[in-house]
């Protein structure tokens, strides 16, 4: 097969940059990246040695991450959330009284709902049904 896809393989970087500018693409490397974190429902992927490239195509930016991720389970994150949310003893008592549950269950639900009393009571009452 003559020409085709292999035609641009031997193109110089200068020529490639010129062609990308003509079609409205720009590529830039981020040099000051310390860490990249991708959060999923059950885990986090942490890239400590990440290399990030940004491609701008007519105002839409695409980020390419290159590196070796370390997977952290979501369980570690829950302990961080517990420290962020301060649950008072009064809040725990209110939830216990309204939902008819124990202190541990009330506190755990308050942490899950980030201190939202109404949401915590609602969830605990739904579980009873």
Structure confidence by residue, pLDDT tens digits, 11-65: 787 887 788 888 888 888 998 888 999 998 888 899 998 999 999 888 889 999 9
pTM exceeds 0.85 for this model: no
Confidence label for 1 from pLDDT (cuts 50, 70 and 90): very low
d(CA 112, CA 74): 13
Spatial CA neighbour of 49 closest among 67, 64, 63, 31: 67
CA distance 58 to 70: 33
* pLDDT of 18: 82
Question: Do 74 and 46 form a contact (C-beta atoms < 8 A)?
Answer: no
User: Is 114 within 8 Å of 81 (Cβ atoms)?
Assistant: yes
**DSSP letter assigned to residue 34:** -
Cα distance between residue 125 and residue 99, in whole Å: 6
> Which domains does the chain show, CATH number per domain?
12-73 (2.20.70.30), 85-128 (1.10.8)
């Amino acid at each position: 097969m003559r020409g085709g896809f292999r035609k641009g393989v031997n193109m110089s970087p200068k020529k490639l940059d010129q062609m990308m500018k003509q079609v409205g693409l720009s590529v830039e490397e981020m040099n000051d990246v310390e860490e990249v974190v991708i959060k999923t429902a059950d885990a986090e992927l942490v890239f400590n040695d990440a290399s990030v490239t940004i491609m701008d195509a007519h105002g839409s930016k695409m980020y390419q991450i290159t590196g070796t991720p370390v997977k952290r389970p979501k369980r570690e994150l829950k302990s961080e959330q517990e420290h962020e949310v301060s649950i008072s003893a009064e809040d725990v008592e209110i939830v216990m009284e309204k939902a008819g549950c124990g202190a541990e269950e009330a506190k755990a639900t308050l942490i899950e709902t980030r201190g939202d009393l109404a949401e915590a009571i609602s969830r605990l009452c739904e579980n009873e049904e």
